[in-house]
Amino acid sequence: MLVSKNKATNSLLKSEKKSLLRFLTLYVAMVIFVITLLSVFYYQSQEKLMLSDQRAALSKYAYIQTKRLKVLHYFFDERTTYPRDPRFRSAIYDIEFKKIFSILGDESIRFDEEIYITDQHIHFVKTLDTYYLGTKYLIIEVEDDGIWRGEIWKHIIGYGLIAFFLFMLFGLFLARLFLRPMRDSLMLLDRFIKDTTHELNTPLSAILANIEMMDTEIMVEKNKKKLNRINIAAKTVSTLYKDLTYLTLEQEQENDDETIELHTLLRNRAEYFFILAESKQLKYELDLEDATMIVDKRKFTRVIDNLISNAIKYNKRGGVVGIKLRQGMLMIWDTGIGIDKEKIPFMFDRYMRFNQSEGGFGVGLSIVKKIVDEYNIKIEVESKEGEGTKVVLKW
Amino acid sequence: MVKKIVLCIALTIGVFSQDAYERNCVECHKDLPTTLQQMFKEYLQTYSGEENVKAVLKHYLRHPSKSISVMSELFIDSYGIKKKSRLNKEELNEAIDIYWEKFKVFDKLK
C-alpha cells in the first residue's frame, strides 16, 4: 500500500525509538557475542597451528637431549654436568614429578599436555620410555617471541571490525524492515485524518455559529438544556478538529510570535470549556496572576485547550480543575483518575491512549509536547492513580 | 691376654660403627664385577622415582627372582640370584634409604 509520508510521521515516536533501541541493543550484544566467539575459535586454531609448527623442532631437540641424557646416565657420577644447548633450555623430572634438574626460565609445567605456551615460553613435554638418570619427563623450553600473537590480534581486530560494521548495516536494514508495517499504519491514519478534517470544517462552523446566534432568552428551560448539550458536543468536536487541523496542516506554518497576556487567554479558554466542566459538575479553581509570554497565540491556545480539556475529560464527577499562573510557571491540575507512573514517559506519544472509555485520537498531548519543545518550555507531569494529575509548564 | 681383649674391643667397635647398608650390602657385593652404583643406575633407569625404586628394591630383596631382576641374563647366569634377605623391616628400610641417599642423582648435577 502506498502512503505518502509527512514530516510528523518521518520522525520516530518514543515507543518506536524504544523498540528500535531494544532491538539494536539485543542485536549489538548478539553480534559482539558471535564475533567474540569466532575470534576465540580463530585464536585457538591459530595457536594450535603455531604449536604444531613448533612441535617438529621441539621433538628434534628432545631427541638430542635424550641421547645426551643417555650418555650422562652411563658416565654418572664421573660426569655430573647437565647437557646444555644454546637453542633451548630443558628440565628433567622423575615419575613422581620430582625435579631432578632444571635450567628452565619458567618452571610452571603442565605434565598432562604435550605442548603449551606459558607467559613467554613454549614448553614441550617428552615422556621417556627408558628413564635415564630416573628421568620420566623431559621438558624442552624455547622463547615465545609473540609475533604470531600480534598477527592474530591484527587479524581479529581488522576482520572483527569489518564483520561488526557489516552486521550493523544488516541490523539497521532489519530494523527498518520490522518498523515499516508500523510506520505504514501510522501514515495511513495520518492520511485518513487529513482527508476527514477537511470535510468537518463547514458543518462544524455552521453548528457553532448558529448556537451563538440563537436567542436563549426566549427559550424554554427544556430547550436551553438541549442547546447546551449540542454546544458541549460541538465544542468537543471543535477542539478535536482544531488539533487534527493543527497536526496535519498548521504545524508546518511559520510562527507568528507576539506578547500575549496569559491570564487573559487562560480565563477565556476556561470560559470556553465552562459548559463542558459544568456538564460533569466540576469546579474551577483559578489562581491567575498577571503574566506575559512571547509565543504564537494560535499554538499556545492548543496547549492550554488540550491541558484543560484533558483535566475535564479525565476528571471525576464533582471534581476540581485548577489553573495556577505565575510569571514563568503555569500549572493545570485535576482531581481525576490519574495515570500509572510507568506510563507517564509515553503519554506524549502520538495515538497513545491509556483510557479507552473516553473518546479521542490520542493526538492532544503529542501536540502539546511538540509546541512546548519548540518554545523550550519545560513540561513536568505528576500523577497519582485515583487522586489526579498535575501538569506544570516552566519557561 | 690384654692383646686379645683390645683386639676383641676393636673388632666390636668396627662392626658397630658400620651402618646397615655397609654391614649388610657392601660386604657381599664387593666381590661382584658390577658395583652397587651400577646396579642403582639400572634400578633408576627402570623405575625412575624414589618411591618406586625403594619399593621394588625391598620387594626384590625379600623375594629375589630372575624374572624381576634388573640385571642382565649374562650376569644372572654367571652369578645367580641372591639369597632371600633375612633382615628385619627396620634394618632393611634403613639399608635401602642409605643406598638411595648415597647414589641418588638429585643435587649432584650441575
pLDDT tens for chain A, 395 residues: list them.
Answer: 333 444 444 455 666 677 778 888 999 999 999 999 999 999 999 999 999 999 999 999 999 999 999 999 999 878 999 999 999 999 999 999 999 999 999 999 999 999 999 988 999 999 999 999 999 999 999 999 889 999 999 999 999 999 999 999 998 888 888 888 877 887 887 778 777 777 777 788 888 888 888 887 888 888 888 888 888 888 878 887 888 777 766 666 677 888 999 999 999 899 888 888 888 889 999 999 999 999 988 889 989 998 998 899 888 888 999 999 999 999 999 998 888 888 887 778 766 655 655 555 567 888 888 889 988 999 999 988 888 999 999 98
Q: What is the pLDDT of residue A1?
A: 36
Q: For residue B37, which residues of chain A lie inside 8 Å, CB to CB?
A: 77
Using the Cβ of B34 and the Cβ atoms of chain A, whether some distance falls under 8 Å is answered with: no
CA nearest to A127 within chain B: B48
CB-based contact B48 A131, cutoff 8 Å: yes
Asked if residue A374 is part of any domain, the answer here is yes
Tell me B81's DSSP state: P
Same domain, A255 and A329: yes
CB-based contact A131 B41, cutoff 8 Å: no
Q: Best residue in B48, B52, B104 to probe A by mutation, most A CBs within 10 Å?
A: B48
Same domain, A180 and A281: no
CB-based contact B49 A98, cutoff 8 Å: yes
CB-based contact B109 A81, cutoff 8 Å: yes
Q: What is the pLDDT of residue A225?
A: 81
Report yes or no: A56 and B83 within 8 Å, Cβ to Cβ.
no
Q: How far is A67 from chain B (nearest CA, A)?
A: 14
Q: Which H or E run contains A212?
A: helix A147-213
What is this model's ipTM? Answer: 0.83
Q: Looking at A214-362, list the stretches that DSSP marks H as alpha helix, in order from N- to C-terminal side.
A: 221-248, 262-272, 274-279, 297-313
Same domain, A134 and A250: no
Cell reading at B23: 654391614
Residue (of A179, A176, A155, A165) closest to A28 by Cα position: A165
Q: For residue A100, which residues of chain B lie inside 8 Å, CB to CB?
A: 105-106, 109
CA nearest to B39 within chain A: A74
Out of A132, A162, A184, a domain closes at: A184
Beta-bridge partners for A384: A388
Q: For residue A73, which residues of chain B lie inside 8 Å, CB to CB?
A: 41, 45
Same domain, A223 and A159: no
Q: What pLDDT, in 10s, does the model give residues B8-60?
A: 554 444 545 578 888 888 888 888 888 999 999 999 999 999 999 999 999 99
Report the C-alpha gap between A367 and A130 in whole angstroms.
90
CB-based contact A76 B51, cutoff 8 Å: no
Report the C-alpha gap between A380 and A394 in whole angstroms.
8
Domain encompassing residue A161: 10-184
Q: Exposed e or buried b for every residue in B22-50, given b needs 16+ CB within 10 A?
A: ebbbeeeeeeeeeebeebbbbbbbebbbb
Same domain, A257 and A165: no
CA nearest to B106 within chain A: A100
Report yes or no: A288 and A323 within 8 Å, Cβ to Cβ.
yes
Asked if residue A189 is part of any domain, the answer here is no
Same domain, A161 and A35: yes
Same domain, A27 and A126: yes
Q: How far is B53 from chain A (nearest CA, A)?
A: 10
Asked if residue A340 is part of any domain, the answer here is yes
Q: Return the SS3 of B3.
A: helix
Q: For residue B41, which residues of chain A lie inside 8 Å, CB to CB?
A: 73-74, 76
Same domain, A285 and A383: yes
Q: How far is A130 from chain B (nearest CA, A)?
A: 6
Same domain, A230 and A293: yes
Q: What is the pLDDT of residue A251?
A: 63
Q: What is the pLDDT of residue B3?
A: 57
Q: What is the pLDDT of residue A358?
A: 55
Q: What is the pLDDT of residue A356?
A: 53
Same domain, A341 and A384: yes
Report the C-alpha gap between A364 and A242 in whole angstroms.
10
Going A237 to A242 to A248 to A249, the CA torsion angle's sign is positive
**% helix, strand, coil for chain B, step of 5:** 70, 0, 30
CB-based contact A131 B108, cutoff 8 Å: no
Same domain, A175 and A219: no
Q: What is the pLDDT of residue A355?
A: 61
Q: What is the pLDDT of residue A145?
A: 87
Q: Best residue in A101, A103, A137 to probe B by mutation, most B CBs within 10 Å?
A: A101
CA nearest to A91 within chain B: B109
Q: How far is B68 from chain A (nearest CA, A)?
A: 16
Q: For residue B44, which residues of chain A lie inside 8 Å, CB to CB?
A: 131, 133-134
CB nearest to A130's CB, from B37, B45, B109: B45
Report the C-alpha gap between A128 and A136 in whole angstroms.
5
CB-based contact A96 B105, cutoff 8 Å: no
Report yes or no: A109 and A169 within 8 Å, Cβ to Cβ.
no
Asked if residue A233 is part of any domain, the answer here is yes
Q: Return the SS3 of A298.
A: helix
Using the Cβ of B107 and the Cβ atoms of chain A, whether some distance falls under 8 Å is answered with: no
CATH label of the domain that carries residue A363: 3.30.565.10
Q: Which residues of A touch B (CB under 8 A)?
A: 73-74, 76-77, 80-82, 94-96, 98, 100-101, 130-136
Tell me A394's DSSP state: E
Same domain, A238 and A367: yes
Asked if residue A4 is part of any domain, the answer here is no
Report the C-alpha gap between B76 and B82 in whole angstroms.
9
Q: Return the SS3 of A358.
A: coil
CB nearest to B48's CB, from A76, A77, A134: A134
Q: What is the pLDDT of residue A58?
A: 96
Asked if residue A202 is part of any domain, the answer here is no
Residues in Cβ contact with A378 at an 8 Å cutoff, skipping those fewer than 6 apart = A372, A393, A394, A395
Using the Cβ of B83 and the Cβ atoms of chain A, whether some distance falls under 8 Å is answered with: no
Asked if residue A335 is part of any domain, the answer here is yes
Counting the structural domains of chain A, the total is: 2
Using the Cβ of B47 and the Cβ atoms of chain A, whether some distance falls under 8 Å is answered with: yes
Asked if residue A204 is part of any domain, the answer here is no
